[in-house]
Amino acid sequence: MKKIYPLFCIAAILIYFSACKIDAPVFPDKPDKPTPVDTTHTDKTIDKALLTGWWAPVKPDLNAKLYFGADNFFFQDTLTKDIAPTAGFWHIAHDTIRYSQTLTSPSLDIFVVSKLTADSLVVKGGVVTVRYYKINQPPITSTAISTIAGTGIDGYTGDGGPATAALISAKAGILVSKTGDIYFCDRSNNLVRKIAAADGKISTIAGSFGKSGGMYANNSAATDATLAFPVFMAMDAANNIYVTESLGNRISKISPDGKINCIAGCSMFPQQGFSGDGGPATAAELREPQGIAVDDAGNIYFADLSNYRIRKINASDGKISTIAGTGDRNYSGDGGPAITAGLSVLDLSLDAAGDIYFTDFTSDRIRKISKATGIVTTIAGTGARGSTGNGGLATAAKLYLPFGISIDNKGDIYFAEINGGIIRKITKATGIITKIGGTGFDNFSGDGIHATAYSLVGPYDVATDAAGNIYIGEQARIRKIAAN
């Protein structure tokens, strides 16, 4: 995991980028005329209204674009395609602009403003003077991020109290019910927990703390069951919850009355393998099941991770079958039947049409299986690893180990890059990919306005609610990005 503070590559901080030069973005040409330094602002307060907006460097091969938001949000593009841009907050101190990771954290001087007019900005950092000109680009908008459960410390406490004060364990699979209740896999504690929409209080709905990896009696109380590393969840129209247990190689069903039943991988628990297609799912062998989804008819789809397949459990008869993958993890098969494709699926989600979208995480791609044709295609990623391409077509972007995936009621796709440290969105109507949360650096930097200014710690899964809010399961926390 990356452990780099977001002020990257330069001691002079943020403007002295000649040391970072790799591939400079192309900006509109502007004549490189010698301009005498204007000391108008020396020892005076900078005009915030003039500074607000986008600025491009006159010499784009040495420096990147800057953005100063009216709400003090700061964004600086990057010349280096393999390093995340800097985002944070800017402050004025006489003729100096200062940068801080959050609105309230300590700030650092980044440069002195030598000249500022409506269309010209000259700054000095150390011995380097850089000239910028104003460009007309839309302001950056990103909504606030907040913590709704956990403190960042692994543990198990807090049932019956506010979720924000509770201790939860490592990275979590997450779902949101139609009523707004949030459920997540408290995986290292071998529990499934709930955050009530009504009051934000946390409770345990399945699993027994301190116990793991055992058999349980079908139709028994879910809170008495021993789960084996629960990782992902899905809910059907009747509010039954389906949980994949990675170390147990089984799938459990928790009904609204609090009872638990095994629906797949039951007979051989906890043995792993690949068998059972065409027969009852309860007698089948699985190998590290992960992401799971349920369609409107009650059919269940899940990622059989280490079997490199997507499998289906029929609602009508409980029989299991393979619908994608051959057992080969190497990427192949685009444009052909999913059943003959090579894939490494981690999580999956269904859209309103029943098409399956999944994270092919070792190939750094998002792929789609058409319900109508069974054909598999790539909708994001090139196979080259990175976190680039925001603002362009998702098919041309680089991804960095995509993990959890979710589709909202508009058909837009959200996914977590666990090593990229960000949440990204693919807009269905355009195919454009954008970053909506995280900085690309793996550290917790707090909560506040502009989700893209605050870091995430190994984002694992993502879920959306009917209002458009986004929920993230990360290291010992559940976080929320507010809807626009």
Distance CA 51, CA 241 (A): 51
User: What is the predicted pLDDT for the residue at 268?
Assistant: 77
User: What is the predicted pLDDT for the residue at 152?
Assistant: 94
User: What is the predicted pLDDT for the residue at 30?
Assistant: 40
Residues 6+ positions from 392 with CB-CB distance below 8 Å: 432, 433
CATH superfamily of the domain spanning 145-481: TolB, C-terminal domain (2.120.10.30)
Q: What is the average per-residue pLDDT within 350-370?
A: 98
Distance CA 148, CA 167 (A): 12
User: What is the predicted pLDDT for the residue at 76?
Assistant: 87
Whether 5 has a pLDDT exceeding 50, the answer reads no
What 3-state DSSP class applies to 187?
helix
Which of the listed ranges 112-126, 170-184, 349-363 does the model predict with the highest average pLDDT? 349-363
What burial letters (b/e) apply to 57-77, b meaning 16+ CB within 10 Å? Answer: bbebebbbbbbbbeebbbbbb
User: What is the predicted pLDDT for the residue at 333?
Assistant: 98
pLDDT digits (tens, 9 = 90+) for 242-268: 999 999 999 999 999 999 999 999 987
Q: What is the average per-residue pLDDT within 141-154?
A: 93
pLDDT digits (tens, 9 = 90+) for 403-453: 999 999 999 999 999 988 999 999 999 999 999 999 888 888 889 889 988
**Using an 8 Å Cβ cutoff, are 157 and 149 in contact?**
no
pLDDT digits (tens, 9 = 90+) for 165-200: 999 997 889 999 999 999 999 999 999 999 999 999
Please report which confidence band the pLDDT of residue 62 belongs to, taking 50, 70 and 90 as the band edges.
confident
User: What is the predicted pLDDT for the residue at 83?
Assistant: 58
Q: What CATH code would you report for 18-135? A: 2.40.128.280
Whether 399 has a pLDDT exceeding 90, the answer reads yes
Distance CA 183, CA 482 (A): 18
What 3-state DSSP class applies to 242?
strand
Whether 6 has a pLDDT exceeding 80, the answer reads no
Question: Percent of the chain at pLDDT above 90?
Answer: 73
Structure tokens that stand for 441 in this block: 């650096």
pLDDT digits (tens, 9 = 90+) for 74-108: 988 876 655 567 888 999 988 999 999 888 888 99
pLDDT digits (tens, 9 = 90+) for 286-339: 999 999 999 999 999 999 999 999 999 999 999 999 999 999 999 999 999 999
What burial letters (b/e) apply to 361-393, b meaning 16+ CB within 10 Å? Answer: bbbbbbbbbeeeeeebbbbbbbeebbbbbbeee
Whether 12 has a pLDDT exceeding 70, the answer reads no
DSSP secondary structure string for all residues of 247-276: TTTEEEEE-TTSEEEEEES-TTTT----B-
**Using an 8 Å Cβ cutoff, are 285 and 249 in contact?**
yes
Q: What is the average per-residue pLDDT within 442-468?
A: 92
Distance CA 453, CA 192 (A): 30
User: What is the predicted pLDDT for the residue at 22?
Assistant: 31
User: What is the predicted pLDDT for the residue at 18?
Assistant: 34
Phi and psi angles of residue 305, each rounded to the nearest 5 degrees, phi first: -50, -60
Q: Which residue has the higher pLDDT, 431 or 21?
A: 431
Q: So where are the chain's domains?
A: 18-135, 145-481
CA distances from 405 to 142, 391, 416 (A): 20, 19, 7
- In this prediction the pTM is 0.84
- Range scoring the smallest mean pLDDT among 69-73, 292-296, 400-404: 69-73
User: What is the predicted pLDDT for the residue at 84?
Assistant: 62
Phi and psi angles of residue 212, each rounded to the nearest 5 degrees, phi first: -155, 155
What is the average pLDDT score of the chain? 89
Handedness of CA 241, 242, 244, 249 (dihedral sign): positive
Q: What is the average per-residue pLDDT within 192-220?
A: 94
Of 305, 277, 280, nearest to 291 by C-alpha is: 305
User: What is the predicted pLDDT for the residue at 33?
Assistant: 41
Whether 281 has a pLDDT exceeding 70, the answer reads yes
